[in-house]
Amino acid sequence: MEKIGQFGRYEVVAEIGKGAMGVVYRARDPLLDRTVAIKTVLMSDDPQEMAEYEARFYQEAKAAGGLNHPNIVTVYDIGKTGNLAYMAMELLDGAELRSLMRPGTPLGPARAVEIAAQVAEGLAYAHQHGVVHRDVKPANIMILKNATAKITDFGIARMRQSEVHTQTGVVLGSPRYMSPEQVAGKRAEPRSDIFSLGVILYEMLTGKPAFTGEDVTSVMYQILNVMPPAPSTVNPAVPAVLDFIIAKALAKKTEDRYQSAGELARDLRDSGKHASAAVGAPTAQPAAQPLLDTEAAQALARSLPIERRADAEGVVVESAPTLGLSKAFDSLDATLKLAVQTGMAEALKGKADTVGVASPSEMVAAMRRGPGWSARDKLIFAASVGAATVVGAIIVFA
């Protein structure tokens, strides 16, 4: 390969792409004889700001370089050439998740859940090691040809929020995927990454953004104040249990959200066990709806933020009603009503005439008072009432 430039010992052979912060190159490491990706970051021209920026870059790059997880891109080296800082990292053979998420075309539920679960596991590892991404979005997630999801740009996101003079008061990053606390100008934390991943999962499942607007201000307003419709109401192929998982991930208050990315990953894995569609199955064949475990659904529903608990009531599958009489059952009125419904009214009236009472009501009342009928009469009447009760119950509960 012909060399077209150099960063430190790395020989640049091709440009891969450009971003807001700099350019990504394919390069060769002659020392270890391997191909790497070089991501550059343009420094400030101001000497004072450049020194601060450079210090932050090395601090964050060092933290990112200490992460060793299958769902996080590996950083090999860092350095600086002129006013360009750079990271040398593993070269990934795949595509950005952004390119797989086409507007109006959701991913299959099983595939979306698998991608989100892998990202959640990568975030959980980073958070355990004190590293918060702060800019989780589809452009920072790579999907390899073997279906592995890799989170990129750890360390660079923090630099976008570097407290240098030119950054003061500016909201940076991707507003559509920002957490409420980031929109409000507060410090990002691990639960901020969880919110961003929830937004991504919502979009993968529905083919639509969770928060939209004509401009950045309206998008930020929605993030702070609006809960998007349940995914299953937008895409019927989405299992209902994912409505509650996403609701918890998108809770406005951090204390109502998943408290760790590991918890989110476990719930996603559990929900994925119900899906019968294979990962990567065509979206034209939606995954089968899972049979919800009632106890698990109730537990998850109880942990939802209050704004989505009403939805949880629909998840619990109640057992079939048990046949039986109400405790408020009035034997006289009910017997007469059942007699009319079952065609026994005339027979009951004829029996009343035989025993010399004015009406079936008086006959039943007389029976309730005690003696006056023969044993045979009582047996016939009891059999009639029993039959009427059974038939009536069948009519009422059928």
Question: For the structural domain made of 94-312, what CATH number should be given?
Answer: 1.10.510.10
**Greater pLDDT, 379 or 33:** 33
Determine the Cα–Cα distance for residues 134 and 145; give it in Å rounded to an integer: 26
Residue 191 CB-half CA count within 13 A = 16
pLDDT tens digit sequence for 285-294: 443 333 334 4
Q: Which residues are catalytic?
A: 135
Whether this prediction's pTM lies above 0.75 is answered by no
* Section 7-11 average pLDDT: 91
* Section 221-245 average pLDDT: 94
Determine the Cα–Cα distance for residues 245 and 257; give it in Å rounded to an integer: 10
Give the strands of the sheet with 23-29, arranged side by side: 5-7, 10-18, 23-29, 34-42, 84-90, 75-81
- Quote the pLDDT of residue 365: 54
pLDDT tens digit sequence for 292-327: 344 444 544 554 455 444 444 444 333 333 333 334
Fold of 5-90: Phosphorylase Kinase; domain 1 (3.30.200)
DSSP for 67-103?
---TTBPPEEEEEEETTEEEEEEEPP-EEEHHHH-BT
- Quote the pLDDT of residue 154: 78
pLDDT tens digit sequence for 165-189: 334 344 444 689 999 999 998 989 9
Domain spans of the chain, in order of start: 5-90, 94-312, 331-397
